[in-house]
Structure 1
Amino acid sequence: MVRTIDLNAEQPNCEPYAHGQDDCASELGKAGKDVTVLVQHGIEDQIRMLKGRTLFSKKKEIAAWDASFTTDSDEMVLAIATSDTNTPWEVYTTTASGGAMVQLSNHGHAFAEKNFASVNFLKCRSSDDKEELDAIYLVPTACAGSEGAPMKPIPTIVNIHGGPYSRVTDEFNPCYFMETQVLLDAGYGMLLPNYRGSSGRGERFAAYARGACGTYDYEDIITLTQYAIEQGYADKDRLVARGWSQGGFLSFMCTVRNGLHKHEWKFKATIPGAGVSDGDTMALTSDMGAFQEDLAGKPPWECDKDDTSGRTGSAIWEFAAAVQKGDVIPPMLIFHGEKDERVPLEQSVGFRRAMESAKLPFDMVVYPREPHLVRERKHIVDMIERTLKFVDLHIGGK
């Protein structure tokens, strides 16, 4: 949210001023003497005057912006860097009164003739009927009917965003490593769920993540996947769950709980990247230990010996029961960066050892030198190629 501080006060306090309850403010800017703010309003990105009118609003990602009044009127001119599923980031100009979007750059000219997918915005109620959930479903162009929905259910990758304080809208690279367009081009549908704990819906919605990771978020992913199946988008027999960071954590949870929900489907495989497998040890080892304590509810050193509440968000503690039930844990492809300080490599190493001990099928790739988000081009290319090959193996292609 936007907060204010009275610097003349004897004891200055940081007071709530705008946003943060039903939506999320992410950046501030200036237009003359006025303050502008970039707001995540549900699945829309908006540019607003602070506590004033909305200047621009689209169901698309705004990566950067600036605003200025014209010299001879009260009209406001905007410069916006934005993208969508079929268009890489470009700079546009428009006016706050609703003028045409004029493209100023041409960085994505190589994709000018490419149409990867139709974009479908989905909404449904949470399983406990407390919240409305939203997601995006991307239908490869070759599979889309006249209304943008698939002509028949298609093999689907449930691509889970990180954070948890993040969210997905219509954008060119929704989950970090440019793999989305490659997978769409190969004929795979893409479900992008905004689970409870995501940003864009304010403090109340975000608060679901604290002390309850692995509860509401996991249930929302299952609910949105089921909804995509019911609406004829996703083929229930060809599903893969993947994600990075918090998305990797939720991919681990989907692994150990696979098919244990009330619906008649399972993930055929999972792809956790830089994922948390044990919440308690994150408080001990992550470079954001206090943040991890917040997500867990409290650190392990404040727990009594028999207090296992921190295990709510620990896939490793559900592994043994999943193995005993049989036919739960699917094949896995695990990715991690060698120098990851946010989610240390040991989180994936621990799950790898569990898979080895149970003699279950998996592959694990550790990228040398890489921090939490993989950066080197050759590693990103390798990761995309491995992902495509793995998905082809387990849920087929076009």
Structure 2
Amino acid sequence: MAVFCKTMVDGLLLTLSVTLLWWGADGHGNGLGMREVPGRATVNLGQDRDIWRPLIHKTVNLSEISSIKSSFQFRTYDPEGVIFYGDTKNGEDWFVLSLRDGIPLMQINKEDMLVSVVGGPKLNDGKWHTLEVSNYGKFVILEVDGSGGLVVGMQSKQSQEVISGKLRLALGGILTNKEMIIQFGPQMDGCVREGNWLNLSKPWESEVDDLWPCYENIQPGSYFPGTGFAIFNTSVFPVEDDNEVKIELWGDFSQMDGTILSIELPGRERIFALVANNNTKEVTVFGDENIPLNSTFNRLVLTFGAAFLRILHEENESKTTELSVHPLSHPVQLTTWKDGHLAIGGLLGEGGDNIASNFLTGCLKKIQVQGKDLDLDLAVKKMSVSSHSCPA
């Protein structure tokens, strides 16, 4: 286990303290096609890439390791995703720290052992937390804000070997296969800062040119910076016995600009879309007829029935617009709903000349489809969207 101390803990420790976040990580090229990022930099773990691929990583010789402790500060509203990864032996022995349901989850693969443990306080409250991972004898310890959060004990029956070679560290992804005891979604909308990674001075390396910024203040929601959107298959939102489709959106619609959502169904030339115009302070419903709404509301409910479209644009029923629609000309035909696509933050297909096709800029504080919260991390395609936090 002392060996594990020098391997996994060489690959599992971190620290971050406190700093304001108006910027992403500063960095510069290293001449090898990689961007260097300082170890103590503020880093947003969200980024457009393969969902398991680390955002930043580094490789060091085990002989360079002088500390069995790492610490960092971490902040998120995201309940699930990878935070930190380390391995030796080209990924044969590895350690992963992640969140699941907002609670820390450590998983370790070492020789003949595969161990997982989950526990400690929920960390997805949007506040900065100091995490410290260390190794003492047979135990790997995670402390949260100075208190013991999680302890893993390991004892192998195999003879211990002296580990040499390389240690790989990564943030926001993993470098090994995905064979774990507890499966989880890897995408993490969160930030780390003030990292002390095993007392190593070597910078991180990133294949991404521009890291996303970490904002000083954040609030729960999904943030669309005007450069991307999320697409879902409508088959994951089944039509219930009432034969209706209900979509609810929360946010300050007067501060939004661009396509909030669009729906594309097979056999329909016309795409249904909801578009905000920050200049006119209107939100327009584009269907078989176009309906402009004053954007001074914070909640919008669209209910599609077999022969009607109901639009509720406020907290009470007095701000309701209901249209009687012939089933064959319905903006969303329920008979083909299961074979369509729903986009949040952008326009699907061509959409027609009179629909603004620009991506959404703004924050949707909450999204529900068929009465269930929508997690943008589950989209079949997502780009340039912070799925769980917005700048406040």
Instruction: Answer with 1 or 2: which has the greater Rg.
Output: 2
Work out whether the TM-score is over 0.5. no
Q: Which has the higher contact order (CA 8 A, sep 6+)?
A: 2
Which has the larger strand fraction?
2
Q: Whose helix proportion is higher, 1 or 2?
A: 1
Provide the TM-score with structure 1 as the length reference.
0.24
